[in-house]
Amino acid sequence: MSAGLGTDPLTLLAATMLLYFVACVAWLLLAMAARVAPRVSLGLALANGLLTAALACLSLRGQTSVWLAFWGADVLALATLASLRLVMPALSDGRDQASNPALAWPSALGLLLPAALALAWLPYEGDMRWQTRIVFGSGLALTLLAAVDAWRQLRARLSLRLASQLAAPLFVIALLLLLPLVNSLIRPTVAFDLLRNSEFQLAWGWAMLGLGLLINATMALLVLARVVLDIQRLTRLDPLTAVLNRRALSEAIDDEHLRLQRGKPYALVMIDMDHFKQLNDNLGHAAGDAALLRAVQVLSPCVRDVDRLGRLGGEEFCVLLPLTDLAGAALVAERMRHNMEASSFEWQGKTWPLTASFGVAEALPEDVSADAVLRRADKGMYRAKAQGRNLVQEA
Ligand SMILES: Nc1nc2c(ncn2[C@@H]2O[C@H](COP(=O)(O)OP(=O)(O)OP(=O)(O)O)[C@@H](O)[C@H]2O)c(=O)[nH]1
């Protein structure tokens, strides 16, 4: 037994195998039973499963064919890193452009397949320097691609420091894979063999075991963070139109009303689609839903990034315009009215005119709460309805 590292290679191998097997089962349960981020969880179950299988092949050396114990172990280990590379784009929630899933497959397969073919072609004999270079070279490339992908995605949402800390285990794994590669270039006659009882080999094995744990824990943390963010986002959005729902918009208006006391004005535009019942009755409820989506498509480009568009319910919308007075809000409302009238809505070959009535109100210092402003904007909207619809009325 090697002094100082407290175990023999086979025990270390068995412990590592057990760890990855447990991680594989845990990710599978998350994907199947709990349905938590299923694509990422399944990918990680696959990566942990492949590594367990690679280590199992390795541990059978001498008791099974050279193909399985050497080629099988090498290719399965590389497939582990390829699947890790493929998992990274799935970590994104699809809203950021930090990761391009279309590039993941060609790069993963482009490294894995040639390596597997080259390893099949080389005889597993002698110092095996070329096998070492192929396995650790392509493993290093796959890990670096996964690490850079993870870092870019994290960076799109987190601070530089946090993104670097979370992606660090993958970069350390890349560094660990670099060591045997460099070793085989400097000392080509000394083969890298995890089953050899040397200080370097054991230290490398321990480091991989620790990093495996760290990567699984980091990925669990990232999946959890994504689930929490998804839930937060879903509870704030209207499920049909994906604009803010009533509660989220009310919160935004209340926050803006607090700023009013610090001299920051704001205005509200209340919007109610005209004759929506007729549209539903003539074209059906599905057409009504599509018309609401069309309305959001028309209204959204009329507002700035700082403005907030929300659906209060039914065919009623409201826009919060920070740092805007009555005249400014009336201009925005008029633009919305005009664009709505000019827009076309088609449903199964039939064209239906879309118009809406608008009420505009500016928050005044004497308004004790945001409700008073909302009530005034509502009053303006009802006046627009009473005066024939498709109008903007200030209140
Ligand atoms: N398709 C669809 N219809 C909805 C939704 N929410 C509310 N509605 C319908 O919107 C219609 C609103 O009708 P009313 O309140 O009478 O208003 P209106 O027909 O637009 O008439 P005015 O407001 O006076 O111009 C009702 O028929 C509701 O069923 C929705 O999410 N989808």
> Which ipTM score applies to this complex?
0.95
Q: Is residue 241 part of a domain?
A: no
pLDDT at 1: 40
Q: Is residue 2 part of a domain?
A: no
Mean pLDDT for the stretch of residues 299-312: 96
Q: Is residue 300 part of a domain?
A: yes
Verify that 167 and 108 share a domain, yes or no. yes
Query: pLDDT, tens digit, for every residue of 115-146?
Result: 999 999 999 888 889 999 999 999 999 999 99
Query: pLDDT, tens digit, for every residue of 151-200?
Result: 988 888 778 888 898 889 899 999 999 999 999 999 888 778 888 878 88
Verify that 187 and 53 share a domain, yes or no. yes
Verify that 219 and 250 share a domain, yes or no. no
Spatial contact of 135 and 78, defined as CB atoms under 8 Å apart: yes
Regarding the beta carbon of 350 and ligand 1, being less than 6 Å apart is answered: no
Verify that 120 and 166 share a domain, yes or no. yes
Verify that 364 and 219 share a domain, yes or no. no
pLDDT above 80 for 257: yes
Best of 276, 280, 289 to mutate for ligand 1, by most ligand atoms within 8 A of CB?
276
Q: What is the CATH number of the domain that holds 312?
A: 3.30.70.270
- The C-alpha atoms of residue 146 and residue 78 are separated, in whole angstroms, by 13
Q: Is residue 3 part of a domain?
A: no
pLDDT band at 93 (very low <50, low <70, confident <90, very high): low
**Of 236, 256, 289, at which residue does a domain stop?**
236
Q: Is residue 21 part of a domain?
A: yes
Q: How many domains does the chain have?
A: 2
pLDDT at 3: 44
- The C-alpha atoms of residue 234 and residue 29 are separated, in whole angstroms, by 24
**Of 211, 236, 261, at which residue does a domain stop?**
236
pLDDT at 113: 97
The parent domain of residue 82 ranges over: 9-236
Regarding the beta carbon of 288 and ligand 1, being less than 6 Å apart is answered: yes
Of all protein residues, whose CA lies closest to atom 14 belonging to ligand 1? Answer: 277
Regarding the beta carbon of 338 and ligand 1, being less than 6 Å apart is answered: no
Distance 277 CA to ligand 1 centre (A): 5
Token readout for 312 is: 């209060």
Q: Is residue 381 part of a domain?
A: yes
Verify that 165 and 253 share a domain, yes or no. no
Verify that 177 and 291 share a domain, yes or no. no
Verify that 75 and 207 share a domain, yes or no. yes
pLDDT at 200: 84
Regarding the beta carbon of 385 and ligand 1, being less than 6 Å apart is answered: yes
Query: pLDDT, tens digit, for every residue of 226-247?
Result: 787 778 788 999 999 999 999 9
Mean pLDDT for the stretch of residues 239-264: 94
pLDDT at 228: 79
- The C-alpha atoms of residue 329 and residue 340 are separated, in whole angstroms, by 16
pLDDT band at 261 (very low <50, low <70, confident <90, very high): confident
Q: 308: helix, coil or strand?
A: strand
Distance 391 CA to ligand 1 centre (A): 18
Of all protein residues, whose CA lies closest to atom 31 belonging to ligand 1? Answer: 314
pLDDT band at 81 (very low <50, low <70, confident <90, very high): very high
Regarding the beta carbon of 273 and ligand 1, being less than 6 Å apart is answered: yes
**Of 236, 271, 299, at which residue does a domain stop?**
236
Q: Is residue 1 part of a domain?
A: no
Verify that 228 and 309 share a domain, yes or no. no
Q: Is residue 293 part of a domain?
A: yes
The average confidence (pLDDT) of the chain is 91
Amino acid at 14: A
pLDDT at 236: 93
pLDDT at 2: 44
Verify that 209 and 343 share a domain, yes or no. no
Would you put residue 64 in left (φ > 0), alpha (ψ -120 to 50) or beta?
beta
The b/e string for 348-365 (b: 16+ C-beta within 10 A; e otherwise) is eeeebebebbbbbbbbee
Verify that 177 and 199 share a domain, yes or no. yes
Of 233, 213, 271, 219, give the one whose Cα is nearest residue 51. Answer: 213
Integer angstrom CA distances of residue 69 from 80, 124, 131, 231, 319: 16, 10, 13, 45, 66
- The C-alpha atoms of residue 262 and residue 151 are separated, in whole angstroms, by 40
Verify that 322 and 340 share a domain, yes or no. yes
